[in-house]
């Protein structure tokens, strides 16, 4: 296991950070948050020019054949910038579903277009609201509602886990066959929608164990989301440390006060713990499949609340300006809270970790 990034991984980080600094500054993120929430030009550059959307995709499908450590590096930078692109939906969730399936034909057809950014895919897999699939006139159709689908508003293809008479199965549905209802959520920088299927034509995807696909994708999603949260945590710590050096009260920079120093030190310690956990979980995803479920549960329990605490401390340490719409602190605060709940509540995540530890 390697907890320190090597030279190539550092260069990957620099390339992505440089591109995001140019195309996704805070003002641009704000503009898109108030508009459609998606930067198509940035998405094309990330996919077509840097090729980061295919880091875990085998070369035979147009990917880089790298690994989850490299993908985690990219996610850290996307989280650091709150980049308005559908990376989590298409390059993480949908890509991992396709790679976990046994359907080589679907992989060959969809993955190259997803890697190039020409096609955006989303995944509908909410356990609280599961669509159903039936055969009618010799073809499969999907009915029902899928809730809180990440980037479902712009998805060209939706991969959906649906119930059938023989259990669950995976299907793909073309975007034009679903009705989309945008949700008004806490975080304006990540769009969620409800998708309604009404006899939507669907193509079954081959797999011998649909639930095993879901379990692996969920573990990988936990690792990816934690990496994104790590990037956000690093950025709010930077913002707060910079502010503490220049904000003066009672004739002194607020960073000289012991109470502020201790809060910043706590944030720094939490960041270093989170970074170690993310590096371990990403390594497990690549090299130790038997350790992945526990590593994914651990990183989720550790990083999500730490990120939210750091974001909350950032708002408080910025004083009154941190509560205003004009300051970026509240964007990170809202993203931290919604990400903390995206794959389950903290109680559910802790219960899952306890089950895996058999305590």
Q: What CATH number does the domain containing 234 carry?
A: 1.20.140.10
Q: What pLDDT does residue 126 have? A: 80
Please check whether residue 2 lies inside any domain of the structure.
no
Does residue 99 share a domain with residue 21?
Answer: yes
Helices assigned H by DSSP within the chain: 7-23, 26-33, 40-44, 68-81, 95-100, 104-116, 210-246, 258-287, 292-317, 329-342, 346-357
Same domain, 226 and 294: yes
Average pLDDT estimate for 342-351: 94
Asked, for residue 275, whether it belongs to a domain, the answer is yes
Q: Which of 88, 116, 144 is the last residue of a domain?
A: 116
Average pLDDT over residues 115-137: 92
Residue 126 structural domain: 121-208
Domain-terminating residue out of 208, 238, 254: 208
At 11, the pLDDT band (50, 70, 90 cuts) reads very high
In a domain, 1, yes or no: no
DSSP annotation string for 286-353: HH-GGGHHHHHHHHHHHHHHHHHHHHHHHHHHTGGGGGSTTSTHHHHHHHHHHHHHHTS-HHHHHHHH
Same domain, 296 and 308: yes
Same domain, 248 and 339: yes
Of the residues 116, 143, 162, which one is the last residue of a structural domain?
A: 116
Residue 269 lies in a domain: yes
Q: How many domains is the chain partitioned into structurally?
A: 3
The reply to whether 40 falls in a domain is yes
Q: Taking the model in full, what pTM does it have?
A: 0.96
**pLDDT attached to residue 196:** 97
The per-residue pLDDT for range 261-304, each reduced to its tens digit, is 999 999 999 999 999 999 999 999 999 999 999 999 999 999 99
Same domain membership, residue 238 and residue 187: no
Query: What pLDDT score was predicted for residue 37?
Result: 84
CATH of residue 32's domain is 1.10.540.10
What is the Cα 76 distance to its own chain's centre? 10
Q: Clarify whether residues 69 and 183 are in a common domain.
A: no
């Amino acid at each position: 296991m390697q907890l320190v990034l090597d030279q190539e991984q550092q260069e990957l980080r620099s390339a992505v950070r440089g591109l995001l600094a140019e195309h996704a500054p805070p003002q641009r993120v704000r503009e898109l948050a108030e508009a459609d929430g998606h930067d198509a030009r940035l998405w094309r550059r990330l996919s077509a020019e840097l090729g980061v959307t295919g880091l875990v995709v085998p070369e035979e499908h147009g990917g880089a054949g790298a690994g989850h450590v490299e993908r985690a590096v990219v996610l850290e930078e996307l989280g650091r910038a709150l980049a308005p692109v559908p990376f989590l939906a298409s390059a993480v969730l949908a890509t991992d579903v396709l790679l976990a399936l046994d359907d080589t034909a679907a992989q060959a057809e969809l993955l190259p277009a997803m890697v190039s950014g020409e096609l955006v895919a989303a995944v509908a897999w909410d356990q609280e609201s599961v669509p159903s699939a039936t055969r009618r006139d010799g073809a499969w159709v999907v009915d029902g509602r899928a809730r809180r689908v990440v980037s479902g508003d712009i998805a060209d293809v939706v991969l959906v886990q649906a119930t059938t008479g023989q259990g669950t199965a995976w299907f793909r549905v073309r975007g034009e066959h679903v009705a989309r209802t945008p949700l008004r959520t806490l975080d304006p920088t990540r769009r969620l929608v409800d998708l309604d299927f009404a006899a939507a034509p669907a193509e079954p995807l081959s797999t011998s164990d649909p639930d095993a696909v879901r379990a692996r994708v969920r573990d990988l999603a936990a690792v990816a989301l934690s990496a994104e949260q790590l990037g956000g945590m690093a950025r709010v710590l930077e913002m707060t440390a910079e502010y503490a050096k220049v904000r003066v009260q009672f004739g002194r920079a607020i960073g000289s006060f012991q109470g502020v120093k201790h809060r910043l030190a706590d944030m720094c310690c939490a960041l270093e713990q989170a970074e170690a956990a993310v590096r371990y979980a990403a390594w497990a995803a690549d090299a130790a499949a038997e350790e992945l479920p526990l590593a994914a549960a651990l990183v989720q329990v550790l990083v999500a609340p730490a990120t939210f605490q750091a974001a909350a401390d950032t708002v408080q340490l910025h004083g009154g300006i941190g509560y205003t719409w004009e300051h970026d602190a509240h964007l990170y605060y809202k993203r931290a809270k919604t990400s903390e709940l995206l794959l389950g509540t903290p109680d559910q995540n802790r219960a899952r970790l306890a089950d895996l530890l058999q305590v």
